[in-house]
Chain A
Amino acid sequence: MKSSVITFPGSNCDRDMDVALKKFGFRNKMVWHDDAELPKSDLVVLPGGFSYGDYLRCGSMASKSKIMQSVINFANSGGMVMGICNGFQILVETGLLSGVLLRNKYLEFICKNVFVKINDKKNKYFKNVDNEVLEFHIAHNEGNYFCTNDQLKEIEDNNQIAINYCDENGKIEDQFNPNGSIKNIAGIFNKEKNVLGMMPHPERMIDSSLSGEDGSLFFKNLINNLK
């Protein structure tokens, strides 16, 4: 399986994603934001970080990068595109995903482990994951997902919510919402479910010495689903 990770100026989880993808069998290429063409890929990842310093609005300038037209075309033709953290913010800015990511409710950067419940498994990202709840890791300042009521209705009607913040038993309640996201949303799909944006960083959970191993579970499953 071939993957591509886009590096924008200010991306800082690009290497971590490269390490994770390779660990689970992807042949990964790093792609510079100023390139025009994507290499042939089965998966494109927009990594976390602070593209363009998060100036103006998180992800807004990166969404206008040269490579992004190619990424958008790839997504629109059914290609798998995953945005993590800042990558999620970029996807929202391109319009591939609906809604926006506001500043965290308590106006503070949060770095910690959280639990997320998988809402939908009829997609290549989460199909065949045995668990209902995963322990993931978040590290962000702007992860407070927000959208209009109409958008929310559409997302819910199409089952586009990918994961929700919850407790270890999968209970989705306000107290387990780290950033104020509407409906505890931690990640969403586009309508076709080939595009996924999520705040948690599975690439930081790929080793028992790190924060946990549920990221390994995610990547192993993902590459199998793509085969």
Chain B
Amino acid sequence: MIVNEQVAVDHGLKKAEYAKICELLKRTPNITELGIFSAMWNEHCSYKSSRLHLKKLPTKGKKVIQGPGENAGVIDIEDNDAIVFKIESHNHPSFIEPYQGAATGVGGIMRDVFTMGARPIANLNSIHFGSPQHKKTKNLLRGVVHGIGGYGNCMGVPTIAGQTSFDSSYNGNILVNAMTLGLVKKDKIFYSKAAGLNKPVIYVGSKTGRDGIHGASMASASFDEKIEEKKPTVQVGDPFTEKLLLEACLELMAGDSIIAIQDMGAAGLTSSSIEMASKGNLGIEINLNKVPCREAKMTPYEIMLSESQERMLIVLENGKEEKAKKIFDKWNLDFAVIGKTTKSKKIELYFNEEKVADIPVNTLVENSPMYDRKWKKAKLPKKNKIKKENIKHLKIIDVLKKILANPNVCSKEWIWQQYDHTVMGDTIQKPGGDAGVVRVHGTDKAIAASVDSSAAYCWAHPLTGGKQVVCESFRNLISVGAKPIAITNCLNFGSPENEENMGEFVECVQGIGEASEYLKFPVVSGNVSFYNQTKDKGIKPTPAIGGVGLIKDYKNMISMDFKEVDNLVLVIGKTEGHIDQSLFARNILDEKNGPPPEVNLFNEKNNGETLLKLIDNNLIKSAHDVSLGGIITAVAKMCIKGKKGINIKKPKYLINEIEYLFAEDQGRYIIEINKKDFKKVADIFNKNAVHFDELGAIIENELYINDKTKVTIDELSTSNKSWLINYMSK
């Protein structure tokens, strides 16, 4: 095939980018080379629109062993233990083919983690669907949940937490973000940097097929009417092979054979080989005839661009080939020496004894395009005034039941019951709480993880929204008694070529950066997913934050279920009555405008750290952060989980009852304490200048408000649990 500008454009490259390729090579690329450039230079792999802004994120910290730039981030959890973790999007494939799209998303992120030598110990996910009324939503939800479960369950890695939301902005672009945590010894972490000359380059895992060719390019474009035609670009997952690959890799890693290892994810053999060469400042030579292929007559172009799953590339020490091969034979996996490292600093490919590609590595990586896209700064919307006549007729209990049954608040048990969340025997906090918690096997330590996003806030004001998500992650970890350590982010946005969408990205990233800097909660890994749009309409900006924290003694873990009648319930943090962008405003008043709640980083840090102090002093019986639906929703969930009631008394603030109960002011938690500890607790709050309210005491079975209105917890529980089950069984 003759390569020209049109062929390049068909590969998703811009005309100027094609011109730059010709200039860098000082010639016209052949078709294989063009394919390689298009794979490396697309948005998904090159981060060309986002790199400039991602640089501003705080990525360092005392506990950070490895920040962004590797397969995943690594943090220190003491005693020579480290946690490897990352979140990644698989949005586009999941919309086209929900089961396989979601399954391979989970498979891909687990590979990123075990590539670094870590055994995966927990999976999480953040999934977002269109309006429940949209005709595609139900099938997409079912397919995605089956796909996530199908892969994770088979791997034997528990899925311990997640987040599911519905919003019409995802009607044409669902989001599927998968996160994995792995455990590794600090001195046995593996990296992708190749080193040494003439070292054998090894291919292991599944055979290469024609699936997923140009998957990464597909993920770098918007959808239109023809998306169905893109089905063949979705990869097909085989969790069984991945389980074998995991065990084989960990077995090989126990020895000293590996110099560098990299999984073949987006852009397959292309990006894995180039990344290893680039990091090692070396060249790599590959004989494509040696690559194990599933189908006959695959061309170099297809072999290089295939995104067949469950494959790894390894640079071995010389002479270790036999030993390594034995391990992969034992696990029935392909093993082939396909090339070697060279000093050429080029990627050189041979096929049928002919050189089919010859590209300097730096042209693909350092010289890849980087854009300073135009972006529009968002204005802070004006506050709405709640009109008295709009809330006069509302009955609090009715509103509460409606909110508990709201698709974005309701119990997601139908989803997480389909995920094996107890395999590995260390899950001590199951899905449905503030964060999932797993023990570090055989120790007293435990790791807490949660994943959060707040698209409504980010849409209303990206800067505030960006900050808020990080704070929510911080709060969720603290609520289970974990000290927050670091985050991973999955930045889901519309087109970077649209000034408003780009503005949303820039300002959300700024917000994330400010909050993570202030809270000392650095970003150690992440992924950007642009072009989440159909035709001209982008999704609401949805940065998903995966937070990880440490509990030193797992016996001190906190859960949100109310524990004991007569215990006192307090609210940490001041309630100002911010209703704009709350679930109450959007779903009960039908008011979509207005600013999100303000984020006060000082209060976030101070309130959170003070709560951790209380937990350390064994003063907290249960805790839950206040988020969607405000204080009363948070309290109702604690009642439902604990099968207990409460008598709520509104403090004598100036704001009215509705504002007090449904406002979504930030930096707040609900806690349960023993009556006799009240003075001690109050002293600690006062000493640390933390505002708190006394909300009421725990009783049996019923929720009272100011002694008058009441509802049984069973009723609330039914409202909370039935929506999703009914929806899915209809």
Contacts and interface: CB of A to CB of B under 8 A. Distances in A.
Given A53-B240, A55-B240, A111-B421, A139 B154 contact: no
A52 B423 contact: no
Interface in B150-170: 150, 153-156
Interface stretch (A5-13, A37-45, A94-102, A188-196): A5-13
Interface in A49-97: 49-50, 52-55
Contacts of B332: 9
B243 A10 contact: yes
B153 A109 contact: yes
A209 B554 contact: yes
Nearest to B416: A111
A137 interface: yes
Interface in B546-565: 554-555
Interface string B139-181: 0000000100110011110000000000000000000000000
A13 B423 contact: yes
Interface stretch (B197-205, B424-432, B497-505): B424-432
B275 to A, nearest CB: 29
A110 interface: yes
Contact of A209 (B153, B418, B424, B439): B439
Contact of B422 (A19, A53, A204): A204
A15 interface: yes
Contacts of B439: 209
Given A9-B331, A9-B332, A16 B423 contact: yes
A121 interface: no
B709 interface: no
Q: Which of B154, B239, B421, B428 has the most CB of A within 10 A?
A: B154
Nearest to B247: A9
B356 interface: no
A178 to B, nearest CB: 10
B156 A111 contact: no
A111 B419 contact: yes
Interface residues of A, number: 31
Contact of B154 (A54, A110, A211): A54
B422 A139 contact: yes
Given A16-B423, A111-B418, A111-B421, A210 B428 contact: yes
A214 interface: no
Interface in B102-123: none
Nearest to B142: A108
Given A137-B422, A204-B425, A210-B427, A12 B155 contact: yes
| Residue of A53, A109, A203 with highest tally of chain B CB at under 10 A | A109
Contacts of A53: 154, 238-241, 243
A206 interface: yes
A69 to B, nearest CB: 20
Contact of A50 (B239, B331, B416, B426): B239
A143 to B, nearest CB: 13
B420 interface: yes
Contacts of A206: 425
A139 B418 contact: no
B133 interface: no
B417 interface: yes
Contacts of A9: 240, 243-244, 331-332
B188 to A, nearest CB: 18
Given A16-B425, A137-B422, A203-B425, A50 B240 contact: yes
A50 B417 contact: no
A171 interface: no
A199 B128 CA distance: 33
Nearest to B426: A210
A112 interface: yes
Interface in A160-205: 201, 203-204
B428 A209 contact: yes
Contact of B243 (A12, A13, A55, A108): A12
A139 B422 CA distance: 8
Which of B241, B243, B331, B439 is the most central at the interface, judged by chain A CB atoms within 10 Å of its CB? B243
Nearest to B425: A16
A10 B425 contact: no
Contacts of B238: 53
A109 B422 contact: no
B423 A109 contact: no
A50 B243 contact: yes
A108 B419 CA distance: 10
A209 B555 contact: yes
A10 B428 contact: no
A20 B426 CA distance: 12
B417 A110 contact: yes
A87 B331 CA distance: 20
B424 A50 contact: no
Given A12-B156, A109-B149, A211 B422 contact: yes
Contacts of A209: 428, 439, 554-555
Interface string B427-441: 110100000000100
A162 to B, nearest CB: 22
Contacts of A16: 423-425
Contacts of B416: 111
A141 B240 CA distance: 15
B445 to A, nearest CB: 13
B148 to A, nearest CB: 10
B412 to A, nearest CB: 13
Interface string B228-271: 00000000001111011000000000000000000000000000
B693 to A, nearest CB: 32
Nearest to B243: A10
Interface in A1-33: 9-10, 12-13, 15-16, 19-20
A88 B719 CA distance: 38
A13 B156 contact: yes
B153 A139 contact: yes
A111 B150 CA distance: 13
Contacts of A13: 156, 423
Smallest CB-CB A-B distances: 7 pairs: A12-B156, A53-B240, A16-B425, A50-B154, A139-B420, A209-B428, A109-B418
13 contacts: A10-B154, A10-B243, A15-B424, A15-B425, A53-B154, A53-B241, A109-B146, A109-B149, A109-B150, A109-B420, A110-B418, A137-B422, A211-B430
Interface of A: 9-10, 12-13, 15-16, 19-20, 48-50, 52-55, 108-112, 137, 139, 141, 201, 203-204, 206-207, 209-211
Interface of B: 146, 149-150, 153-156, 238-241, 243-244, 331-332, 416-428, 430, 439, 554-555
Given A109-B146, A139-B422, 16 more contacts: A9-B240, A12-B243, A13-B156, A16-B425, A20-B425, A50-B154, A50-B156, A50-B240, A53-B240, A53-B241, A53-B243, A109-B153, A109-B418, A109-B420, A139-B420, A209-B439
